[in-house]
Each structure stands twice: as structure tokens, then as C-alpha cells.
């Protein structure tokens, strides 16, 4: 028999306020409820029963008085007498005690009443439940939406409702093993397998081999390939999504789970992922030994150069001499070593005039650059590890970000709302923060055009998440400046803010809205990143963390153009455009007004560009209006800067 809860509202009470009595004991509940404890012979039964008692106003008032006197009016439960039962005597006056007294001490008469009546209630309920099992003809209500049966019957003065657990709930109780699901980021079959288990209400452990890279080796050893998804019941390989669906459709899934998942998970099963430990093995740069020697031996000081005070710099000839002495080599090798150090962004020319040239020039270490302390991927010292290939960094960044948007609870299904707090506590975000340190000395010149486009789109959206977590959403003009200009990463040896990425790199070094200057001046070392022309579609791939932003998306290098087209169509399909044919007015997002130069500049050119990404009714209306050659009014909608929480 199942435990019977005489507590219809299921209110929680403090553990200190409960009295559990073995073999059908009763505990006090709120609002005149009583909960009958689980008897020893029925310990394994998992159904639950609720009992409602008829309240009595006099005892209720007395109990409320006791609660108010003790200061626990929110959590201390009360018990009210039945109409046909004698009323309990009010408690005798007591000396003042601490408010931490238990229920039995603060309401002795009520506690005595509960103990006295527990045996009779338990016996009555057991008898009545026995009659139900024998087919007493009581009313049975089936609730198909919740997939369980509810049996309702009455005992004089007591109403009992027995809720039977669903088949899935009973199966969960029998399973003590572990379902392991191996997945990858941005994989449709992995997403489908994850949704399958959620729909069934089954617990599982997910191992994303794009996040936990070492788990990919384990998957290879167990299955002979890295194909995903792969499902394990304990240490038994079930197969992929097709096998999972086949077992479910044939009705064999539950039997398979009972057979392979109980009673516990053996040690031979796939290991659960370990959080807080990095899988990647970093290698120190081959020049680190020389760099460390130079950091300690060179005369680093502030100098007046070209009528400017330059801080923490050293002379190029001094560095060459130090390298020659340290490596015991000739001048030619000393100069070549200095050039490699500059190319790997260990050192920079103080005015950015060259990488390294033999002569009377001055340089400084990357950690002494004025901008370095304001970069959020810098931690007291620069990353001296060997720079990872640019393509590897771009791929790793996209996979980590895909895992975040796909993880349950981090981002809404429509990707318009983001839970920044949960992301900040996630293992995926921790690994992303570690990845950003590897951006300090990355060689950005090795990107292909599509790799560069996808990389900076993804990095922009990832930086917005990091900025919201670190400094919060912008709430005004000054906050916008701090958010888009001052939040920076050091990437490839130079600082990159959100504005630099958007306007300097993605927009071909064009002025930002309401700005008088271009992001990059002549001679800027970052100009090599600027594309040949602007792709207006980028504006529908950048999520600024606001409610009027496009959806949070991340992109792949091999398919970035098609993914941007899909993003633009999706944006206009929602609230990006509204058309009033009678007024011949088109309501567009203010993003197009701010960056009108990217969309053609003139209103007709803007509308013709927008038409390429419209579908259905809006496409027909706008095409008809453009064909009429009558004037069309464009009204730009207000932009909502509040956070996309």
C-alpha cells in the first residue's frame, strides 16, 4: 500500500515542524491537514494518497493564535478537529520560550490529538483501500493528459484521493542505471535524440564531444567511429537515433531499459563528463625561453620619443644584443629571432610602424601595451602558449557557442531570450573564456574570407554574452559607449571592441551611426582584416543583446552566406517589416536607417534590397507598390534597447 498524505494543498513544512510516527504515523500539515506516515510493510509502494479533513472554526482560531504568538505564521502547520469528533482542549498557558520550539512543544494539545487519532485513521483508510481493490465500484477518473488514474472515495468525515503513478514514473523508479547520450554541436540528429528523451521524461547524461573533446576518443574506442548520436544503457551500446525510434515504435524500449538499466550503473559504463578541467593540451611557444630572458634583462622604461612620452618600452638594438648573448649566435640570427617575436605578437613597435627592423626603433612587450588592461580576455599575464591555427580557433568557437544555444534552459526555443546567469555558470562558457585567451596572439591573416566572416560574426555574439555577464545590459548613452566601445578583447595582438568588429571589420571600415571618424585610421595594423565590400546581411546575424536585435545565432564557415540569408528572411518574417498598402507606407526596422549606406542609401534602393528577402503576402504587396511607381513612405520603427532576457 502506498503512503497516504492527508494534505491536499501539498504545502511544504519545515523538517523541525514534523512528527513522523512509524507504522501509520501522522504528521501535522497546514490548514487542518494530517499526513499519515508510511507503514513498514508498505515501504516499497510508490503511490500517494491525499486526505482532506473538515475544518472547525474554533480550533482554527486557537491554532492561528498559537502560530501568531510563536512568529511562524507562514510555515507552522495547524490541525483542525473533525465535526463528529470531540474538540481538543486548548493548551495550558506556558512560560515564554524561544521561537525555535518544535510543534509538539508549541501546540501540545494538537500534537496529542494527532497521535491519539492516527491509529484509527490509518485503520479506516487501510480498510477502505482494501475494499477498493476488491472492486467496490467507486468512481474512477482517467486523465489522459497526465497519463495516470485517480480513484476517489469517501470515509465518514474524510475524503481520500489515490493518485497512481504513470507508466513512465514507475519505470523511472525501477531504473537505477544511466542513459548516456553522445552528441555533437549543431547536429540535427543529436538534437532529435535529446528531444526524444525529454518527451519521454527520461533522465540521461549528455556528453557533447565538441565540448568534452577527450570523450570523442572514448566514443571511438567503444563504437569504432565518431558518428553521433550514440546511446548507451549502462555499458551496453544501443545505437543511434534510428535504433532508438525503432525500439520505441515496436514497444520494446521499456523492456530493454528494464533489462539493461537496473539496478545500478556499472563502472564499465561511459564516464560522465568532468567539469572544471580542460581537455586541450597547450604547448609553450618555442620562443618563450628567449622572451622570458628578455623580460628580465632589457632596460624597460618610459622614454620621450618624437615629442611623445612612451611608457614601458625598450630599444631595438638592445634587444638584438641580448638575444645574441643569450643564444650565443650571430647578428643575423638575432635579428631574425626578433622579427619572429614581433610576428607572433610578443612585441610591438610603439607606433605600429613595422613588425621589427634593425635600427633605432623602440618596442614594447604585449603585456605593456596601454590597452591591455582593459581587455577582458587578459589575466595579469599574456598567453605564452604556441598560437593555435586560425581555422581551429574558428571551428572551436562556433562549436562551443552552438552547444550553449542548444543546451536546455540557456536560450529559448525561438532564440529571442537568453538566460545569461545560467550561461555564466555553465561548463561551456567556462571553456569559452579559456578559449578567448588563445585569441591574444592568433594569426588572423590565415583566414579565408568565409572563415573570417563566420569567425567575427560568432565572436561578436559571444562577446555580447560575455559583456552582459560582466558589465550588464546598457541602459543609456553612456552605458552604450562602455558596452560597445570599451568592452574589448586582445585579438591577434591588437584590441577589438564590439564597435571595431562591426564597423571596422564587418562593415569595411565605415563610420558607426552618429560618429564622425572611421574606426581604423591610415596605417592601422588591423586594416588587413577589412573585406573588399560590405555584406548588408551581417546586420541580421549580429545580436546586440536587446529585444529589437535579431535572434541569437552562430554560423559555420562553409555555409555562412546561406545562413545569413536565412537569418534575414526570418527577421523580416517576424516584426522586421510591416506594410500598409492603403497609406503606401512601409514600416522598417531602425537598423536599416542607422546603416542605410549598407543597403543602398536611397529609399527605393533600400526597398528593392528588402524585397529580395521577403516571402508571401509582404513580398507581393511591396512588389506591387514598387511597380506602381507612386511615392512610398518609409517609417522606421522604434528600437527597444532593453535586454533580451
Return the DSSP state at 587: E
Q: What are phi and psi of 360, to 5 degrees?
A: -85, 75
CATH of segment(s) 173-261: 3.40.30.10
Query: Quick count: other Cβ atoms within 10 Å of Cβ 488?
Result: 23
User: Which of 454, 508, 517 has the alpha carbon at shortest distance from 485?
Assistant: 517
Q: What are phi and psi of 143, to 5 degrees?
A: -115, 95
What distance in Å separates the CA atoms of residue 122 and residue 382, rounded to the nearest whole number?
Answer: 71
What distance in Å separates the CA atoms of residue 396 and residue 58, rounded to the nearest whole number?
Answer: 69
| N-to-C CA span, the chain | 47
Task: Please name the residue that has the C-alpha cell 634587444.
Answer: 319
Are β-strands 4-5 and 48-53 bridged in parallel, bridged antiparallel, or unpaired? parallel
C-alpha cell at position 132: 477498493
Contact status, residue 428 vs residue 419, Cβ threshold 8 Å = no
Return the DSSP state at 579: E
May I ask the CATH class of domain 287-370? Answer: mainly alpha
Global pTM reads: 0.74
CA angle (605 as vertex; 604, 608 as ends), nearest 5: 85
CA angle (396 as vertex; 444, 189 as ends), nearest 5: 140
Long-range contacts at 89-92 (CB < 8 A, ≥ 24 apart): 90/62, 91/66
Contact status, residue 573 vs residue 615, Cβ threshold 8 Å = yes
- Sign for the CA dihedral angle at 92, 98, 104, 106 comes to positive
Query: Quick count: other Cβ atoms within 10 Å of Cβ 63?
Result: 26
Using alpha carbons, list the distances in angstroms from residue 445 to 226, 254, 383, 391. Answer: 31, 55, 19, 11
Using alpha carbons, list the distances in angstroms from residue 31 to 8, 18, 77, 104, 114. Answer: 10, 15, 7, 17, 14
Query: Domain map of the chain by residue range?
Result: 173-261, 287-370, 390-562, 567-636
What distance in Å separates the CA atoms of residue 6 and residue 28, rounded to the nearest whole number?
Answer: 9
Average pLDDT by stretches of 10, the chain with 645 residues: 43 42 43 42 42 43 45 40 47 44 49 59 58 48 47 63 64 74 96 93 92 92 94 95 94 90 86 84 89 96 94 96 96 96 95 92 96 93 92 95 92 94 95 95 93 97 97 81 93 96 96 92 93 95 95 96 97 92 95 95 94 94 91 94 92
**Residue 607: which region, alpha, beta or left (left: phi > 0; alpha: psi -120 to 50)?**
alpha
What is the SS3 assignment for 385?
strand
Return the DSSP state at 330: -
pLDDT of residue 2: 43
What distance in Å separates the CA atoms of residue 459 and residue 457, rounded to the nearest whole number?
Answer: 6
Burial (CB count <10 Å: 0-12, 13-18, 19+), residue 224: exposed
What distance in Å separates the CA atoms of residue 118 and residue 30, rounded to the nearest whole number?
Answer: 17
Q: Evaluate the omega torsion of the peptide bond into residue 263 and state whether it is cis, within 30 degrees of 0.
A: yes
List of residues 6+ apart from 94 with CB closer than 8 A: none
Angle between helices 449-471 and 390-406 (to 10 degrees): 50
Amino acid at each position: 500500500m502506498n503512503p497516504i498524505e492527508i494534505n491536499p494543498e501539498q504545502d511544504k513544512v519545515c523538517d523541525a515542524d514534523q512528527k513522523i510516527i512509524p507504522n501509520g504515523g501522522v504528521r501535522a500539515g497546514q490548514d487542518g491537514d494530517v499526513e499519515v506516515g508510511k507503514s513498514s510493510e508498505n515501504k516499497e509502494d510508490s503511490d500517494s494518497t491525499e486526505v482532506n479533513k473538515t475544518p472547525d472554526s474554533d480550533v482554527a482560531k486557537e491554532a492561528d493564535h498559537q502560530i501568531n504568538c510563536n512568529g511562524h505564521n507562514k510555515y507552522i502547520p495547524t490541525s483542525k478537529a473533525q465535526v463528529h469528533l470531540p474538540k481538543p482542549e486548548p493548551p495550558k498557558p506556558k512560560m515564554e520560550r524561544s521561537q525555535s520550539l518544535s510543534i509538539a512543544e508549541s501546540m501540545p494539545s494538537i500534537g496529542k490529538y494527532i497521535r491519539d487519532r492516527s491509529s484509527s485513521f490509518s485503520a479506516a483508510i487501510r480498510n477502505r483501500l482494501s475494499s477498493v481493490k476488491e472492486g467496490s465500484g467507486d468512481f474512477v477518473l482517467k486523465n489522459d493528459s497526465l497519463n495516470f488514474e485517480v480513484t476517489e472515495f469517501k470515509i465518514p468525515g474524510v475524503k481520500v484521493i489515490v493518485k497512481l503513478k504513470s507508466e513512465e514514473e514507475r519505470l523511472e523508479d525501477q531504473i537505477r542505471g544511466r542513459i548516456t547520450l553522445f552528441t555533437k554541436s549543431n547536429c540535427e540528429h543529436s538534437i532529435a535524440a535529446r528531444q526524444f528523451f525529454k518527451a519521454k521524461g527520461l533522465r540521461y547524461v549528455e556528453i557533447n564531444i565538441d565540448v568534452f573533446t577527450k570523450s570523442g576518443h572514448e566514443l571511438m574506442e567503444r563504437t569504432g567511429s565518431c558518428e553521433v548520436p550514440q546511446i548507451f544503457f549502462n555499458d551496453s551500446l544501443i545505437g543511434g537515433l534510428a535504433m532508438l525510434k525503432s525500439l520505441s515504435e515496436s514497444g520494446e524500449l521499456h523492456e530493454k531499459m528494464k533489462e539493461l538499466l537496473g539496478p545500478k550503473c556499472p563502472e564499465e559504463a561511459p564516464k560522465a563528463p568532468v567539469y572544471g578541467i580542460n581537455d586541450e593540451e597547450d604547448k609553450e611557444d618555442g620562443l618563450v625561453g628567449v622572451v622570458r630572458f628578455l623580460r628580465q634583462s632589457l632596460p624597460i622604461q618610459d622614454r620621450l620619443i618624437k615629442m611623445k612620452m612612451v611608457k614601458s618600452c625598450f630599444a631595438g638594438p638592445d634587444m638584438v644584443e641580448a638575444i645574441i648573448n643569450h643564444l650565443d649566435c650571430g647578428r643575423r640570427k638575432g635579428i631574425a629571432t626578433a622579427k619572429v617575436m614581433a610576428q607572433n605578437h610578443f612585441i610591438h613597435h610603439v607606433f605600429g610602424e613595422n613588425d621589427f627592423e634593425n635600427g633605432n626603433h623602440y618596442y614594447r612587450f604585449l603585456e605593456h601595451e596601454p590597452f591591455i588592461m582593459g581587455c577582458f580576455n587578459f589575466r595579469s599575464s599574456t598567453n605564452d602558449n604556441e598560437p593555435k591555427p586560425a581555422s581551429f580557433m574558428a571551428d572551436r568557437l562556433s562549436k562551443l557557442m552552438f552547444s550553449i544555444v542548444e543546451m536546455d534552459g540557456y536560450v529559448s526555443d525561438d532564440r529571442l531570450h537568453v538566460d545569461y546567469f545560467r550561461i555564466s555558470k555553465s561548463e561551456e562558457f567556462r571553456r569559452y573564456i579559456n578559449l578567448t585567451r588563445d585569441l591574444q596572439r592568433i594569426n588572423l591573416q590565415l583566414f579565408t574570407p568565409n572563415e573570417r566572416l563566420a569567425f567575427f560574426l560568432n565572436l561578436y555574439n559571444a562577446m555580447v554574452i560575455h559583456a552582459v555577464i560582466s558589465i550588464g545590459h546598457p541602459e543609456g548613452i553612456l552605458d552604450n559607449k562602455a558596452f560597445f566601445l570599451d568592452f574589448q578583447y586582445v585579438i591577434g595582438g591588437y584590441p577589438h571592441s564590439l564597435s571595431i568588429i562591426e564597423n571596422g571589420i564587418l562593415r569595411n571600415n565605415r563610420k558607426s551611426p552618429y560618429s564622425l571618424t572611421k574606426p581604423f585610421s591610415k596605417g592601422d595594423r588591423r586594416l588587413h582584416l577589412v573585406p573588399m565590400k560590405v555584406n548588408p546581411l551581417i546586420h541580421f546575424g549580429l545580436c546586440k543583446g536587446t529585444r529589437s536585435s535579431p535572434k541569437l545565432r552562430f554560423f559555420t564557415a562553409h555555409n555562412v552566406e546561406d545562413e545569413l540569408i536565412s537569418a534575414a528572411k526570418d527577421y523580416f518574417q517576424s516584426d522586421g517589416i510591416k506594410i500598409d498598402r492603403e497609406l503606401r507606407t512601409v514600416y522598417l526596422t531602425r537598423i536599416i536607417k542607422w546603416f542605410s549606406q549598407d543597403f543602398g542609401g536611397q529609399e527605393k534602393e533600400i526597398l528593392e534590397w528588402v524585397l529580395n528577402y521577403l516571402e508571401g503576402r509582404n513580398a507581393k504587396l511591396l512588389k506591387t507598390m514598387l511597380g506602381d511607381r507612386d511615392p512610398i513612405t518609409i517609417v522606421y520603427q522604434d528600437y527597444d534597447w532593453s535586454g533580451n532576457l
